A and B are shown apart, each in its own frame.
Chain A
């Protein structure tokens, strides 16, 4: 079943972005070299960047349609976003960061949901700390938890491991795999590292110089190794 349908165009400086793909449930990898436009595509899905032309829809809900004059603001899209650098709020504790999405939507706090996500990501002993007291890996786990607790219908992860060193990368990948298998939220996962994607992705959209050059199963990643694009 198609969850996300993207068909967008945008001029970004010298790069002409023209991307069209569909994503089903599971983890869709947005793969390609640096500067291919991957982050711009997820920013458009989140509503942080407005395409020049085209449309974006989740299930049957149109989020953006240039022709129809539809552009749902980010705060009403209910799409979780894990940024490359975490972007935790420095003036709030880990617990308040995790709770932010629920507070903004005015929902009642349900302890079981909070406990479940905190357990899934092993956040229990971090809850009363400030973001600056966390290691890079801990910060990204909190960022993932914060995005999940807003009950997203889609989760965007933009190079969530890029800011981490080798050891921390190995530390956080198992959490993301667990997330894919347990949480049931469809994900779009941006990365330029084939080895990382082989662990987590269920399908691949290959982006190069602003265009989709291939899409399909994760066997596409074997080609990436041969071409050694990294």
Chain B
């Protein structure tokens, strides 16, 4: 029979929670950065573009280490957050969410940026002659027209967050019940004699979750296409 032990359930639940929180927190930044890169010319744009894409090309361990030295309790940002807001990220599930958000961010920004670049700017002009200020134009024209790309970005970020391993384990370690995600649990289990069966169950879960995310994104973007283009 296919049953998960409580420890395995914890890993699954933790993985989902971390991936959802990471994606939700990354989304507003993803839209903002996508918009900046698609629409604005400013000093340092190439640098911003580079920094956003860095987690895609750096070894995940390096990204995790950079997070550790900046967001760790003794790191400049970590110490600031701890002192003024009482927020501690290192060795907590929230830190895992941060690591996953950083790793998923480039995958989220790219489709959003492409969607924003593809929008016919003349529609925004038309909206402004009809009395919509910049914020209303963005909310009623730009964002809805960029929705299919935004959905694609959300799904890609979520999928990456769900499977993230290297940066997470480097930054927040592998603590059962706190930071041990599915990936970390599998890694631990296959190093223990007799852990193969449990690892196999988690591998199966990982495959099912990944497939579900893919199918959900297909379905959502088709619905968005029907809604906005009547196809």
- A residues contacting B by CB (< 8 A) are 46-48, 73-81, 83, 85, 87, 89-91, 100-101, 104-105, 130, 132-133, 146-147, 150
For residue B228, CB closer than 8 A to chain A, the reply is yes
In the complex the two chains form, is A101's CB within 8 Å of B131's CB? yes
Residues of B within 8 A of A78 (CB): 131
Residues of B within 8 A of A130 (CB): 229-230
Could you name 22 residue pairs across A and B whose Cβ atoms are closer than 8 Å? Answer: A47-B129, A48-B128, A74-B129, A75-B128, A75-B133, A76-B131, A79-B129, A83-B122, A83-B126, A85-B122, A87-B122, A89-B123, A91-B144, A91-B227, A91-B228, A100-B130, A100-B132, A101-B130, A104-B127, A147-B129, A147-B130, A150-B130
For residue B212, CB closer than 8 A to chain A, the reply is no
- Complex CA–CA separation, A73 to B136 (angstroms): 14
Which residue of A83, A87, A105 has the most chain B CB atoms within 10 A of its CB atom?
A: A87
- B residues contacting A by CB (< 8 A) are 120, 122-123, 125-133, 136, 140-141, 144-145, 227-230
In the complex the two chains form, is B130's CB within 8 Å of A132's CB? no
Question: Which 4 pairs from chain A and chain B are nearest by CB?
Answer: A91-B228, A104-B131, A87-B126, A101-B130
- Complex CA–CA separation, A85 to B125 (angstroms): 13
In the complex, besides A104-B140, A132-B229, 20 extra interface pairs with C-beta distance below 8 angstroms are A46-B129, A48-B125, A75-B130, A75-B133, A75-B136, A77-B129, A78-B131, A80-B129, A81-B126, A81-B129, A87-B122, A91-B145, A100-B140, A101-B130, A104-B130, A105-B131, A130-B230, A132-B230, A147-B130, A150-B130
Residues of B within 8 A of A146 (CB): 130
For B122, give the chain A residue with the smallest CB separation. Answer: A87
Known: A101-B130, A101-B131. A74 touches B125 (CB 8 A): yes
Smallest CB separation, B140 vs chain A (Å): 8
- Complex CA–CA separation, A101 to B122 (angstroms): 16
In the complex the two chains form, is A48's CB within 8 Å of B123's CB? no
Known: A91-B145, A91-B228, A130-B230. A48 touches B127 (CB 8 A): no
- Complex CA–CA separation, A146 to B126 (angstroms): 10
Residues of A within 8 A of B140 (CB): 100, 104
- Complex CA–CA separation, A73 to B206 (angstroms): 53
- Complex CA–CA separation, A79 to B228 (angstroms): 27
Residues of B within 8 A of A75 (CB): 128-133, 136
Smallest CB separation, A65 vs chain B (Å): 20
For A49, give the chain B residue with the smallest CB separation. Answer: B125
In the complex the two chains form, is B133's CB within 8 Å of A73's CB? yes
In the complex the two chains form, is B229's CB within 8 Å of A104's CB? no
